[in-house]
Structure 1
Amino acid sequence: MNYLKKILSSIITIFIVSLIIFLLFELLPGDPVLTRLGVETDPILEARLREEFGLNSPLYTRFFKWCFQVLKGNLGNSFSYSGYTVLELIKSRVFTTFIITVITLIIVLATSIPLGTFLAKNNKIKFFKFLKVFSQIGFSIPAFWIAIILIYIFSLKLKLLPTLGTINWNRYPITSMKSLILPVLTLSISKVPLVSHYLCNSMIEESTKDYVRVAKSKGLNQNEIYRNHILRNSLISVITIIGMITIYLITGTIIIENVFALPGLGTLLMEGINRKDYPLVQGIVLYISLAVILINFFIDIAYSIIDPRIRKGKEKK
């Protein structure tokens, strides 16, 4: 029943987000028809395009028509990419964004969990304070600044990796892989310190609780206690940070893709904004909003899996 409420809440959220997205881009200055044709254009051609794009209809009519089309899986036609639907353009770019997000998330989890555990185990040594300060510096530096530094080192000085992204998995698989190294490294460097920092603090707090002392009295060694008890309970608080990072990776790649000129959703979104392509921008923002809502939904499920007490508490209610 709780999941049904969550689904209903998500549907309402999607509707509100759709309304805000639609109204926001309708209120923005600029005319998409004049942007496409230019200021000095044929009035007949201008009128025909306005009719084709549905811009002559009232605002509320266009909104509900857009909502019904979205429910059918149709996000409309692009204003600037003639002959292409918004859904076709998103499909052509989404894989690049998806692969960057997944690889980065795997690297962040595979690196930050052992690092956070190591920091928690060795929190009394002098080197611990240095690592804590270093981790705070790491997640304080903006990702685009890290990207510029990496481009300068690995592309301009060492000439090991390309500055701009070339993604064509069929013809240039090696070049495509090399084009993803710096973007993934940029996002990972900015997020590994954040996750390890929160995990370390959570594990230090958990290590002072009574169940840890009971486990030690039973003769369990430190590694077993950290692995089977402290780490598991610490992940409950850290999973929120992981969810936030996943959302950040989906939205944050917009900037990183533009820095490295990668053909992903980020560059497509900027192209749509520059060209006043409202259906394209609305479709991409709606797609990202749906992804964020789904991630939050799966975070709730993950809570129940990691900590059965949460699930039992919901069932009692």
Structure 2
Amino acid sequence: MLQYVFHRAWQSAVTLVLVSLVVFAGVRALPGDPATVMAGQQADPAAVAAVRAELGLDRSLPVQYLDFARNALTGDFGRSIRTGTPVRHMIRVTLPVTVQLAVYAMLIAVLIGVLGGTIAAVYRGRWPEWLVNGFSLVGLSVPTFWLGILGVFYLSVGLGWFPASGYVSPFDHPLRGLHFLTLPALVLGVTHAAVVQRQTRSSMVETLTADFVRTARAKGLAPRTVILRYGLRNSLIVVTTVIGLQLGLLIAGTVVTERIFGLPGIGKLTLDSVFSRDYPVIQAVVLVIATSYIVINLLVDVLYTVIDPRVRVSGRAR
């Protein structure tokens, strides 16, 4: 088990270094000059050159990358070119909003997806499967922004069930905070529930036709025990992988939803930074999101050792 975890951690560290290189190069490939933005369009070349020297943009790219990597390891991402605020503070304020939304949406997606996938696998070829598959088809087909607009129009403005926009921290006011997050979490959760449902159904159908499941049924075990203990549990390797990937995508893909519902998350910060060519903020945000994605996948890999004893014995996933 330790060998398996160490191997995955080493792979994650290499991936993170490669991601930092891509982030550094990609940000500098954006059109526009942050020094000109900061100094002003009417500034003379001397003023622009002074700003470039202050930001370290006049040095060679390898030196800039080494400075960026060294500072990132200590959590120092510099200051925003646009506002002068420390980037670390900006991320500390906005990231919890996105994480709360992503986790809430993922809980909704897992509940709906695993339940729907199990029902579709157990009632294969009958109307419950058709109903569940129809729901997943709609969830995969409807764009998130359109679903968000419909939710605001009907559930917020029309019925008044949820606030149309705004944010209240669940840590300050738990019930009110959940009320503000419920509608955007539903919008995100329904889309990702469709993916979880399809993968759960596919894995469950394969598992329920396996020899060990037929043996369990032949021994006279209750149908619920066969489905939950033998069917669902042995399908969790695939389902856990999908859930981990979807959670990473949720954290990285909340930009549109946060914009629709006026949430002060990291998605809004990303858009504002891109429009203003704010290099330090863009680098930090993308690196933090990529790191979150890598860490989530590492945790999913570690979960394999809990779900599947074969991983603990062999030291590698099968």
TM-score of the aligned structures, taking structure 2 as reference length: 0.92
Q: 2:307: which partner in 1?
A: 306
| Matched residue type, 2:231 | I
CA deviation digits over 1:255-299, x for unaligned, max 9? 211222210000001011011101100000000111111111111
- Residue 114 of structure 1 is matched in structure 2 by 115
User: How does 1:1-317 map onto structure 2 within 5 Å?
Assistant: 1-41=3-43, 45-82=47-84, 84-167=85-168, 176-314=177-315
Q: Describe the shift of the 1:47–1:142 C-alpha distance in structure 2 as closer, same or farther (beyond 3 A).
A: same
Residue 115 of structure 1 and its aligned partner are, at CA, apart by: 2.5
Note the C-alpha offset of 1:201: 2.2
**Counterpart residue identity of residue 256, structure 1:** T
Aligned sequence identity (%): 32
Instruction: Write the deviation string for residues 227-281 of structure 1: whole angstroms up to 9, x where unpaired.
Output: 1111101111111111111111111112211222210000001011011101100
- Is the alpha carbon distance of 1:124 and 1:44 closer, same or farther for their aligned partners in structure 2, counting shifts above 3 Å? closer
Q: Is the 8 A contact 2:311 2:317 kept in 1?
A: no
Letter in 1 for 2:66: F
Task: Flag the 1:315–1:240 CA change in 2: closer, same or farther, 3 A.
Answer: closer
Instruction: Between 129-138 and 260-269, report the one with greater CA deviation.
Output: 129-138
Deviates more, 1:104-113 or 1:173-182: 173-182
Deviation (angstroms), 1:157: 2.2
DSSP-derived class of the 1:39 partner: coil
Paired residue type of 1:246: L
Q: How far apart, in 2, do the equivalents of 1:173 and 1:120 lie?
A: 37
Task: Quote the offset at 1:158 in angstroms.
Answer: 2.5
CA distance in 2, matches of 1:294, 1:72: 18
Q: Which moved more, 1:32-41 or 1:164-173?
A: 164-173
Change (3 A) 1:276 1:121: same
Alignment partners' CA distance in 2, 1:257 and 1:315: 38
Structure 2: unaligned runs, 5 residues or longer: none
Distance 1:261 1:17 in 2: 29
TM-score calculated relative to the size of structure 1: 0.92
Q: Which has the higher contact order (CA 8 A, sep 6+)?
A: 2
* Structure 1 residues 113-132: Cα deviation after superposition (integer angstroms, max 9, x where no partner): 22322222222423422332
CA separation in 2, counterparts of 1:17 and 1:170?
Answer: 33
Counterpart Cα distance in 1 of 2:73 and 2:173: 37
Q: Which amino acid aligns with 2:28?
A: E
Give the root-mean-square deviation of aligned CA atoms: 2.2
Deviates more, 1:186-195 or 1:43-52: 43-52
Distance 2:314 2:117 in 1: 29
Taking the aligned partners of 2:156 and 2:113, their CA distance within structure 1 comes to 27
SS in 2 for 1:55: coil
Where does structure 1 lack aligned partners over 5 or more consecutive residues?
Answer: none
In the alignment of these two chains, the number of paired residues is 316
Quote how far apart the aligned CAs of 1:45 are. 4.2
